Amino acid sequence: MRLFELGEQLNLIGYSYGSVAQAHIALALIDLGYKVDNLILVGSPISDDSDLYKELVMYQEQGKIGQLIRHDIPQDKLSNPKSDAEFAEGGMENVGPSGPHFDLARPDDESTPNVNEEQVANEQIRKLAKKLKKKGVK
């Protein structure tokens, strides 16, 4: 029994820790013989230098992952951290709801009536969706 129809695009996307979970799901599906067409990591704490990312790149080079797409969040030290220290700094700067890590998931903050943070976040999501569509993600 197949989990997906042949010819159907298999896309996995995760935000923040969800990207780590989706990366491991992708590896498990590949081990079961599936091809992951698009693995999209949004605001991912998976570093380019990590063993996990290197394994994902290896599978992409082998054709088991079609596209490995990163969407790192500007000024967010939790997105693709360069070191453990940067990751820790990112954790501290994102303790409250205004940290950059939440730029694509921010609800409106009633204490800032002149800014609609939710609207800004939704616009960022729309921009990412357009980018993914241009890359062939269905």
- 3-class SS at 38? strand
Least confident of 26-35, 59-68, 100-109: 100-109
Output the pTM of the full model. 0.89
The mean per-residue pLDDT over the stretch 2-18 comes to 84
pLDDT in tens, 81-97: 999 999 999 999 998 77
pLDDT in tens, 45-78: 999 999 999 999 999 999 999 999 999 999 999 9
Q: What is the pLDDT of residue 107?
A: 83
Give the confidence band of 6 by pLDDT, cuts at 50, 70, 90: low
| Residue 29 neighbours by CB under 8 Å, 6+ apart | 3, 10, 36
Query: First-to-last CA distance in the chain?
Result: 24
111 confidence band (pLDDT: 50, 70, 90): confident
In whole angstroms, what is the distance from residue 75 CA to residue 99 CA? Answer: 9
